[in-house]
Amino acid sequence: MFDLAGCDKEILAILQNHLQEHIEHLMNSIPELCGSMMELRQMSEHLLIRLQAARIQLQQTKDTTQASSMGFYSIIKTFHSLLLQHSKKLALERLVSARIVADGVRQLHSNLDALLDQHGLELHSPLQHRDWQGQWDKDEGDAYKHIVAILEKDVEGVPRELNSTTRQENVLKLLRYESEEHGNYYDTTMMNIFKSAQLKLVRFSGLAVPEVPNWFLPEYEVQRHPTPFAHGSFGNVFKGTWLGSQVVVKCVDPKTEEDKRTFRREARIWQRARHRHVITFFGACDQGSPWFFVCEEAANGNLKNYLYHQKNKGRSLAWRKLYEAALGLHFLHQRQIIHCDLKCNQILVSAEGVAMLTDFGLSFMSVDSRPLTPPGGAVRWKAPECLNNSNHVPTKESDVYSFGMCVVEAVTGESIRGEIVQILPWSSK
């Protein structure tokens, strides 16, 4: 007979060793990344000192658990990603993104405090437990002083680093965004620095300061997980964080000027679609590579999977969620927004169990944002007039047909294929 308890211990030991290898790899790569953080190097290295001391204490603790290791791993993984995203930037790019890096480091200090409290540890290091705040304040002040000194010392060289019109225009947009949206964060001196940097770059480039759309989010405010959790023909889909909230980041790669115009148009469409049963849109970034949309994370996944895991609650739950989705579709139609690609995996369910529509009317999102459907699969949800005429423009009526197919799929629990579609008069055409 197998010793299941023994097997479990062996598996846990393997997982723990694997986790420690990941931690070792990250800890070894972080010092070099800290060294490339320029003005924020000291702030980054002071957090690293605390992490190194905490790791030693956790290793010396007899009851080190998988939970404590995972908690520590989460902190250093986030720190590594933060450094990777913000290292090796140019001076003006560092000026606008320093706020986010500093806030990120402060949050990681707090997370480390919480981890140590949870395991009853006192951190003995040059930055004692909870005594890091004063050093962080000093590091933040020093960082901005250093950036200002660089900007004032090399008046011509700093703008010249931005060696393309696109990059110059992007930084002008970021300077305006940062000073207008987050002016309360900065003192008068820093606000004057933003204005001065903007004027110098305008004179150097000959460009006008671009407008900042109300849907715009800068790349540096969004932290993407390194590995996508889904793929579509438009690009990859990542989980991430924005302002401390868990979000979904849908990346696209616009190839042409028409693609870029379409992206911005679709950001405007999504921005005005605010409803309880429509996935919340937080913003979009139309600079750098890739461009991306940011929306809320639906913790319970798509409707079909949600209903499968809740199948003990019967069909009444399916009808309630479909009713909620219908309210979302009605809202879109009232605003002349056609979904164009409605399927059960475009109906998501929040952590609170609320059904919401996603990826509506967006040509970049029009192919399933979850793993790609087998060729021809999506035709099962299309209205016959759309199938019979490839030039037919989707309408509210074709959306209603697609929603009807969602009803069939949700209530029966079956995929829209095989014998189900055989009952449709046009299925053999």
Q: Report the distance separating Cα 44 and Cα 409, nearest Å.
A: 51
- Looking at the fold, whether 123 and 161 belong to one and the same domain comes out as no
Instruction: Give the CATH number of the domain where residue 374 resides.
Output: 1.10.510.10
Of 296, 311, 342, which residue sits at a domain end?
296
Q: Report the distance separating Cα 329 and Cα 132, nearest Å.
A: 50
Q: Tell me if 52 sits within 8 A of 110, measured CB to CB.
A: no
- Looking at the fold, whether 139 and 263 belong to one and the same domain comes out as no
- Looking at the fold, whether 180 and 199 belong to one and the same domain comes out as yes
Please report the pLDDT score of residue 265 as a whole number.
Answer: 92
pTM over 0.85: no
The verdict on residue 5 lying in a domain is no
Q: Report the distance separating Cα 3 and Cα 73, nearest Å.
A: 30
- Looking at the fold, whether 349 and 383 belong to one and the same domain comes out as yes
Residues 6+ apart with CB under 8 A from 403: 325, 326, 329, 342
> Could you tell me the end-to-end alpha-carbon distance of the chain, in angstroms, rounded to an integer?
58
CA pseudo-torsion sign 41, 43, 44, 45: positive
Does the N-terminal peptide bond of residue 290 adopt cis geometry, omega within 30 degrees of 0? Answer: yes
Q: Which residues of 178-194 are buried (b: 16+ CB within 10 A; e: fewer)?
A: bbeeeeeebeeebeebb
The verdict on residue 66 lying in a domain is yes
Q: Report the distance separating Cα 204 and Cα 110, nearest Å.
A: 42
Question: Measuring CA to CA, how many Å separate 241 from each of 74, 85, 231, 299?
Answer: 13, 13, 19, 14
The verdict on residue 201 lying in a domain is yes
- Looking at the fold, whether 176 and 128 belong to one and the same domain comes out as no
Provide the domain limits for residue 97.
12-154
- Looking at the fold, whether 307 and 399 belong to one and the same domain comes out as yes
- Looking at the fold, whether 163 and 239 belong to one and the same domain comes out as no
- Looking at the fold, whether 115 and 42 belong to one and the same domain comes out as yes
Q: Tell me if 345 sits within 8 A of 368, measured CB to CB.
A: yes
- Looking at the fold, whether 62 and 164 belong to one and the same domain comes out as no
Q: What is the residue-level pLDDT of the chain in tens, covering all 429 positions?
A: 445 445 577 787 788 788 889 999 999 999 999 999 999 999 999 999 999 999 988 887 765 666 788 899 999 999 999 999 998 888 899 999 999 999 999 999 999 999 988 877 765 555 555 689 999 999 999 999 999 898 888 767 777 788 889 999 999 999 999 999 999 999 999 999 999 999 999 999 999 999 999 999 999 999 999 899 888 667 899 999 998 899 999 999 998 999 999 999 999 999 989 999 999 999 999 999 999 999 999 999 999 999 999 988 888 999 999 999 999 999 999 998 888 888 888 899 999 999 999 987 665 554 433 334 433 446 666 766 666 666 667 888 989 999 998 999 898 877 655 454 454 544 544
Tokens matching residue 229: 């959790």
The verdict on residue 268 lying in a domain is yes
The verdict on residue 95 lying in a domain is yes
Please report the pLDDT score of residue 415 as a whole number.
Answer: 64
The verdict on residue 417 lying in a domain is no
Of 110, 136, 154, which residue sits at a domain end?
154
Q: Report the distance separating Cα 274 and Cα 281, nearest Å.
A: 8
- Looking at the fold, whether 19 and 142 belong to one and the same domain comes out as yes
Question: Measuring CA to CA, how many Å separate 266 from each of 199, 203, 224, 262, 283?
Answer: 32, 33, 21, 6, 11
The verdict on residue 126 lying in a domain is yes
Question: Measuring CA to CA, how many Å separate 126 from each of 28, 37, 182, 260?
Answer: 20, 21, 33, 50
- Looking at the fold, whether 227 and 291 belong to one and the same domain comes out as yes
For residue 327, report the phi and psi dihedrals to the nearest 5 degrees.
Answer: -65, -40
- Looking at the fold, whether 116 and 187 belong to one and the same domain comes out as no
Residues 6+ apart with CB under 8 A from 229: 237, 238, 239
Please report the pLDDT score of residue 154 as a whole number.
Answer: 74
Please report the pLDDT score of residue 80 as a whole number.
Answer: 97
The verdict on residue 423 lying in a domain is no
Question: Measuring CA to CA, how many Å separate 351 from each of 48, 218, 250, 301, 326?
Answer: 35, 27, 20, 9, 19
Please report the pLDDT score of residue 371 as a whole number.
Answer: 38
How many domains does the chain divide into?
A: 4
